Copies of this chain bind each other. A is one copy, B any other.
Amino acid sequence: MNMRSMDGDVRVPAGALRAFMERAFAAEGFAAEQAAQIADVLMQADLFGIESHGAQRMMYYHRNIASGSAVVGAEPEILRQTPVSALVDGHFAMGHLAARMGMQLAIDKAKAAGVGICAVRNSSHYGIAGYYTLMAAREGLAAFSMTNTGPIMTPTFGVEMMLGTNPIAFCMPADPVPFWFDASTTVVTLGKVEVHAKRGRVMPEGWTIGADGQPCRDAQRMNDSILAGEMGGILPLGGAGETLGGHKGYGLGVMVEALTGVLAQGLTAPDMQGAHGDHTCHFFMAFDPAMFGDAGEIRAGMSRYLARLRESERAPGCARIYTPGEKAFAAQQDRLERGVPVENKTLAELRQIASELGIEGI
């Protein structure tokens, strides 16, 4: 059933992987609809080729549920709202469920009033930030999604991890695929450091610094020290110091924390346990481009500009220029046709989960 793959170790048909995830979350105690919703977020990551946030994270969620970090049966609650805003307390639900509710509120308000902003606190890890902006893009809306996480980023001139991955996701309708941007405000995510550690690879200079403030390229050492909460960490986008704009990545990271942990009046990164972060806070915003003109023309304008970027002059030796989201949608096409690449280690984890939950494996 599983084919050999160049990327992961095997290719698992998307339908089979999704069905397994749904079985697993149902067995964890979630209602069928909730299990499907959580699985949909993870599947989207795997389909988009962001394997770090797909099936590979099943064991992490399995343990979070066991430890009570993510609470099965928790019901996120609207604490206050206006026609254009909502504040949600996730009550430590699975982040995917609290986040779906948050973005749906933003979408509903945007459809009724033109714009909706939702701040969510006391949530948990919500998967890829960009999943939620896609929900809005399907409705013809533009949208932002941001989250704080446990501390992994050092401030410019600092060695203490004070900020999370703090991604900014933004989506705007376009053809043939939406403009879909989803990026951490760190140089790289912890997942990339983990992958280098697993594979025994040396990291490029400019990803991490050690406790001494000097570049560290030892992936295993940095992975361990980050998970242990020691000094040193992942650098902001733009790297160390200010020469290449590290203060800009740092500033964008603080901006995300301002819009999540601070605005939602929840925890900020330094108060979270673990690199992924319990009790995370999210920010969602959706708005209707039709407030500014003909929605079809704005969508066509977005598509035209993206096409011009792709067709612009390439650097010698570079095969092509991508626009944000293109790679993800191409990966989705590939994975729907040829299956999702899964590493043997992940496959073994999924089988362990199946065994522990007493469900059919994969």
Contacts and interface: CB of A to CB of B under 8 A. Distances in A.
Given A85-B114, A159-B313, A318-B157, A265 B293 contact: yes
A204 B252 contact: no
Interface string A143-179: 0000000000011111110100000101010000001
Interface stretch (A22-30, A254-262, A329-337, A353-361): A254-262
Interface string A199-242: 00000101101001100000000000000000100000111000
Contacts of A297: 265
A77 to B, nearest CB: 14
A263 B245 contact: no
Given A170-B255, A172-B258, A305-B257, A84 B155 contact: no
A183 interface: yes
**Chain A interface size range:** 35 or more
A250 to B, nearest CB: 8
Q: What is the total number of copies of this protein in its complex?
A: 2
Nearest to A144: B255
B82 A168 contact: no
Interface string A51-95: 000000000000000000000000000001011110100000000
Given A157-B322, A212-B316, A313-B158, A263 B248 contact: no
A291 interface: yes
Interface of A: 80, 82-85, 87, 113-115, 117, 119, 142, 154-160, 162, 168, 170, 172, 179, 181, 183-185, 187-188, 204, 206-207, 209, 212-213, 231, 237-239, 243-245, 247-252, 254-255, 257-259, 261-265, 268, 270, 287, 289, 291-293, 297-298, 301-302, 305-306, 308-309, 312-324
16 contacts: A82-B114, A83-B113, A84-B291, A117-B287, A117-B291, A142-B263, A155-B312, A155-B321, A168-B252, A181-B251, A188-B245, A206-B244, A207-B244, A254-B306, A262-B305, A265-B293
